[in-house]
Structure 1
Amino acid sequence: MAREPVYDVLTGLVRTVFFAQGLRIDITGQEHIPRVGPAVLAVNHTAYFDFMEVGLIGRRSGRNVRYMMKAELEHGIVGFLMKHCKAIGVDRGAGAESYGKAVDSLRSGELVVVYPEATISRSFEIKEFKSGAARMAIEADVPIIPVAIWGAHRVWTKDIPKRLGRHRYPINIRIGAPISPVDDTDELSATTRASMIELLAEAQRDYPMPRGAAWVPARLGGTAPTPVQAAILDREELARRKAAREAREADRARRARG
């Protein structure tokens, strides 16, 4: 692995955070993360900081993974970190360009992290997938490696108070066997999603989950929203964001007119 000083420093900080919080991380399937060669890492998304666990499994195989991050973050300190960690900026207004950068990264031999659900799952179940992960795997002719993380959402997720102190939460990570790309995007997405559902169930098996807890899926006796309820909350959040964005744009226009 080529030395990347900024990435090395960030990795050290992440390990320090894990140690301070007392996180107990259990990983199975590490052998599926290749030490050389490209792949799409398809990861479920339940927490704001679950990217740190993904970085950990990459480093355990001697790899620096490449994240796809919002292009609007490409300034200041975060922009500096993105540049030096070879992150891929995602611009929703220029999706084809962002997608092309991800494919180029795969063709150059990188491990590219993709969250096929696109946004955090409020139900903590696997949401429906966007097609990007499958399409880039097909175009770059690389495998998809499914990954399921369970427990990171207890630290910080949507709608639940964050717990950033020392709590010694267990976090289970399950990595599946690589899935070879097929020509049909829908088929590849469905196969990947089915694998991730199985991996998530495996990660949840024997995990202590008290009934009525807000971080426990409704299916398992918790009070997290059901997938249907979560979808409604997601739509309401998008509507609020759109209204806030339009208000900011209108305010800028008024000030520009003087």
Structure 2
Amino acid sequence: MVDTNSALELRERIFWVPTDLEQLPAHKEWSQRLYANIITLARRIMQAQGLRITVLGAENIPADGGAVLAMNHTGYYDFILGGVPAYLRGKRMVRFMAKKEIFVNSFIAWLGKQMRHIPVDRSAGGASINVAVESLREGNLVGIFPEATISRSYEIKDMKSGAARIANAAEVPLIPMVCWGSQRIWPKGGKKDLGRSKTPIIMVVGEEIPTTGDAEKDIDALCFAMKSMMEQVRDLYDDRFGPFEDGLPWRPASMNGTAPSLEEANRMDTADRAARAARKVKEAEQEAAKSERKEEKKLAKRAQKQLKKMSKWARKDQK
């Protein structure tokens, strides 16, 4: 557990951190100007939004060398917030693993490649695991959302074992992180608030989870740690920024909010997966039909050319 009673100080008009958090010089990664400029832009946007981000336990992130940062996932803003604790550790950068669909746009794909993020093909994840392990061995921080998708219930979902397998293969620390409040900014399927909302957010970085090589056992330990940290951060959030009324959409059902229960959210995710699979089948069928029509047109053109040749030969024979 992280000490939540320590005195806090304001850093850069946006980050509240323990007064004893060591201010480190910028890591050599900060020389990667494109990524550094994007982080600077994101920081200014968050300042303009008036976000108040409390970060506890950032000292658990290594000041140098590789580590897997495993974080819960409650909103689309998590890709921005997930890099904040590392930034506070000497302006370190996080290489996120994200589903390949995010990189479909050519410009986004180019940016992702320049920042060395890692696309994940969820139907064949082995290649991305190898890329992540190599990145970690090079001394990078790799960010993973082990729930694999946004939690509509705002509870921690069942986790995939990839984070544990990657950390163990690369022989780097597996570090749990939780974030609470980002679902108030841009949730999945809910109303987003990207203006000057002054939304408070609390992030907690836990101590390393030792890996044993048993991925299922290790991911269970990670899940237990993150659930315990989430209970801690929610209590802290309500104590510092509450009280909150019942029936709020950004609060889980277990806290008298109107977000779907974990079971309901799982059913919704299952329905979404089935719908995506059906769309893919339909798209494949449409593509196959399109290819078939093109082939038929080619064959028809060839047949017409052949008929013209035969007609020409027949006229010559008649002469």
**TM bucket, shorter chain:** over 0.9
Deviation readout 1:24-70 (Å, 9 max, x if unpaired): 10010011111101111010000011111111221111211111122
Indicate the residue corresponding to 1:251 in structure 2: 286
* 8 A contact 1:174–1:202 mirrored in 2: no
Report the AA paired with residue 212 of structure 1.
Answer: G
Structure-to-structure mapping, 1:16-165, within 5 angstroms: 16-62=44-90, 63-72=92-101, 73=103, 75-165=105-195
Inter-partner Cα distance in structure 1 for 2:191 and 2:285? 33
Indicate the residue corresponding to 1:184 in structure 2: 214
Indicate the residue corresponding to 1:225 in structure 2: 260
Inter-partner Cα distance in structure 1 for 2:190 and 2:202? 20
Q: Which residue of 155, 169, 174 maps to 2:199? A: 169
Inter-partner Cα distance in structure 1 for 2:152 and 2:100? 24
Inter-partner Cα distance in structure 2 for 1:42 and 1:225? 24
Inter-partner Cα distance in structure 2 for 1:161 and 1:249? 33
SS, match of residue 183 in structure 1? coil
* 8 A contact 1:39–1:145 mirrored in 2: yes
* 8 A contact 1:142–1:180 mirrored in 2: no
* 8 A contact 1:151–1:172 mirrored in 2: yes
- 1:139 deviates by 1.2
Indicate the residue corresponding to 2:274 in structure 1: 239
- 1:193 deviates by 0.7
Indicate the residue corresponding to 2:311 in structure 1: none
TM-score normalised to structure 2 length: 0.78
- 1:75 deviates by 4.9
Question: Which structure exhibits the higher relative contact order, with contacts defined as CA atoms closer than 8 Å and separated by 6 or more residues?
Answer: 1
Structure with max Cα Rg: 2
Inter-partner Cα distance in structure 2 for 1:27 and 1:68? 22
Report the AA paired with residue 85 of structure 1.
Answer: M
Indicate the residue corresponding to 2:249 in structure 1: 214
Report the AA paired with residue 39 of structure 2.
Answer: T
- 1:198 deviates by 1.3
- 1:93 deviates by 3.9
SS, match of residue 82 in structure 1? helix
Inter-partner Cα distance in structure 1 for 2:257 and 2:105? 40
- 1:74 deviates by 5.5
Unpaired runs of at least 5, structure 2: 1-27, 294-319
Identity over aligned pairs, percent:
39
Inter-partner Cα distance in structure 2 for 1:93 and 1:149? 28
SS, match of residue 83 in structure 2? helix
- Count of residues in correspondence between the two structures: 258
Report the AA paired with residue 81 of structure 1.
Answer: L
- 1:163 deviates by 1.0
Report the AA paired with residue 30 of structure 1.
Answer: A
Inter-partner Cα distance in structure 1 for 2:62 and 2:87? 11
Inter-partner Cα distance in structure 2 for 1:188 and 1:91? 23
Q: CA RMSD in A?
A: 1.3
Inter-partner Cα distance in structure 2 for 1:199 and 1:43? 11
